[in-house]
Amino acid sequence: MTRSALTTPPPDAVLPRPLPGGPAPGATLGSHYSGCFGCGEDHPTGLRLTAVTPDGVTVVATFTVGTAHQGAPGLAHGGVLATAMDEVIGMLVWLFQRPYVTARLETDYLAPVPVGTVLHMRAWCNGMSGRKAYLEAEGRIGSPDGPVAVRAAALFIEVGMEHFAEHGDAQAIIDEHHEYEVNP
């Protein structure tokens, strides 16, 4: 992965460990919001990704590229592929049981992805330091060990629930996830 210093963990970063009460190995991770473009089951044109965590610290997901996702005729749009990378990384940070948002996303496109492709994605964390999580993802064509078509490195920042209350609709999150409180 061509990664900038901004998405490279510092020497003091630590690797995450599975958290008590987190999903069991092999568990499917639910959507964080039903209206989310990346994972929401109610979104009419979204990617509707679902992910599985094999071990409590990484996630895998598949995304079938459809005609709604084209850039060039017959080929996936690069922005849609970046969205898929952002979302699978977002599903990974959900395992940390604290709210994070994308601060920076870097993407390498290595091969065109035709419509009809099943993209096998994997995301993992390279280290955490304070509020910062340094993350990486890849998408492979056709199978978990197929050719890599897209790679991403990201910096996510932990925020409080007030981030969503101040800038968005925190109540919509709380309505779906009763474990979250805006002013705990």
Residues that bind ligand CO8 (CB under 6 A): 6, 32, 90, 99, 101-104, 132, 155, 157, 159, 173, 180
Q: Which is nearer to ligand CO8, 7 or 117 (CB)?
A: 7
Q: Which is nearer to ligand CO8, 2 or 67 (CB)?
A: 2
Q: Which is nearer to ligand CO8, 65 or 105 (CB)?
A: 105
Give the nearest distance from C-beta 155 to ligand CO8 in angstroms. Answer: 5
Give the nearest distance from C-beta 169 to ligand CO8 in angstroms. Answer: 11
Give the nearest distance from C-beta 135 to ligand CO8 in angstroms. Answer: 12
- The tokens describing 141, both together, are 């064509």
Q: Which is nearer to ligand CO8, 19 or 110 (CB)?
A: 19
Burial of 83-121, coded b for 16+ CB within 10 Å and e otherwise, reads: bbbbbbbbbbbbbbeebbeeeebbbeeeeebeeebebbb
Yes or no: say if 39 and 48 are a contact pair by the CB < 8 Å rule. Answer: yes
Give the nearest distance from C-beta 114 to ligand CO8 in angstroms. Answer: 28
Yes or no: say if 134 and 126 are a contact pair by the CB < 8 Å rule. Answer: yes
- Residues sharing a CB contact under 8 Å with residue 178, sequence separation 6 or more, in sequence order: none
